[in-house]
Structure 1
Amino acid sequence: MRAAGEVEQVTPVVAGHGEGPVWCPAEQRLCWVDLLAGDLLSYDPVTGGVRRRHVADVLAAVRPRAGGRLVAAVERGFALLTPDAVELLPEVWADPSVRMNDGGCDPLGRFWCGSMAYDAAPGRGALYRLDPDRSVHTVLTGVTVSNGLAWTRDGRTAYYVDSATRRVDAFDVDPVSGELTDRRPVVTVPAGAGLPDGLCVDADGGIWVALWDGGAVHRYTPDGRLSAVVAVPVARPTACTFGGPGYADLYVTTSRQGLPADDRSPAGALFRFRPGVTGFAAHSFAG
């Protein structure tokens, strides 16, 4: 059940904890974060060059806005980025032991991001939504490690990972309000295969999930059947997204977090794979 093709390392080791990749069509670059360094990274597939920009103490996730700008999740809330400025929005909570972790935009142009305790204590995280008017709403509570969140191409289904559950859950999405309803498990990752982390959805409805401590990315069908396995040469792939011409490339971010100091693997590099299916453009923030 291994997918055809080979995984290619496209950057040196550039991140301590690489996360949250997204293709930015305005620049034709892949953006992702070095989360605990608070840095925004971007990769140009034409030149192979990587840019680094410091944004905040923690930078958990970014998504495109109009005009080449970005919306971001920082340690305890949200920010708006322009090429030369960072506008920090009011903190969502004050507790320094909890931070943002991963997120994405929905078809209505709202930015969602979830949190976790630094020590991953059970139930201390939540899932938040930043609306274009800058209001913030709490959507889920009692979360442990809020991770991947993505919508299908038709916008009718959203997939979500709280890594501690070992599951990928699906929600129905109301096309008018965007409300998430009827949460249900679709995939349960077996013990020993790693923990589900970041995810994305392809144009055929397949769910691609990075497996922390699993050294792989799995593809599942909408009914939860494992349909492809992509081995990654590091223990901790963190997230994946489609990008490049025709959204035919699957990019995978990786982490060095928790690895021994003498580890010589390419953990922390960015990888690319052509899986034979395509993705589609990520939704942008409308604010």
Structure 2
Amino acid sequence: MAGGHSPGVRRRRLSAALRRLRDDSGMSAADVAKRLKWSPGKVTRSERNEWKFPKRSDVEALLDLYGMEGEERAHLLSLTEEARGRSDWHEYADLFTGPLPDLEAEAVRIRTYETVLIPGLLQTPGYAEAVSRASQVVPPEQIERKVTSRMARRGVLDAPNGPLLTAVIDEPALRKVVGSHTVMAEQLRFLAGMAAHYKVTLLVLADEVGAHPAVDGAFTLFDFPQPEPGIVSIPTVVEALYVEDPAYFDRHTLVFDAVQNLALDPQGSLDLIGSIAAEHDKKA
């Protein structure tokens, strides 16, 4: 699954590009609809990624209207074909209420702040199983597949074009007993090992920092190739929320930068992880 194909994200890229081209043209959605003899709703749906399978003929009509030629035109038409495919994650589609695996596969950078859990891309099977069982949201018969899918997601970190991951983890997440002390000791040792991965930066926000800008909750930032907008993901009890608004993304970027600056440096973070893992070992 490493570097998996993500038609859903390609559709999002295509929609963002078409919206940008219309803005640059100075035309309104109503203007475009009138010129192409479409309904205004068809134009807005294409720009909001509310289509299932973009039609090449529709995209060609829009590019003709906007006067788009050359390499960018070829790129957008190629994107149209890729957007019509099926995600490599289709076998796990029933387990995800949002586009998480596709976003991870297509991002160039992922920045995540976690309050009480280890980030999903850095979880061990034992820890992931304990989280799924405790949630009471995942049906018991689906837990094994849920864990398998979570382990498969980590493959993006080994993909040549996979994202860089910066994870800031609040100290309580290291101390909370998820599953058992044995599970936690194993998880923290694995976490320390992942800190050596060339694409992973792991930082711990120590308890002694006290209140901080992100104290209200966890969130994840997905960065994509410019000029595509980033996405903020905020977990809830049942499913995550995904927000594309640039101003919202920028505010969360400022918050993330603040907690990153407050966190221990990489070596200090490893030292704290090691000492807490030892405490779990003693209690196991």
Instruction: Give the TM-score range, shorter chain.
Output: under 0.3
User: TM-score with structure 1 length normalisation?
Assistant: 0.26
Higher helix share: 2
Higher strand share: 1
User: TM-score with structure 2 length normalisation?
Assistant: 0.27
The structure having more radius of gyration, on CA atoms, is 2
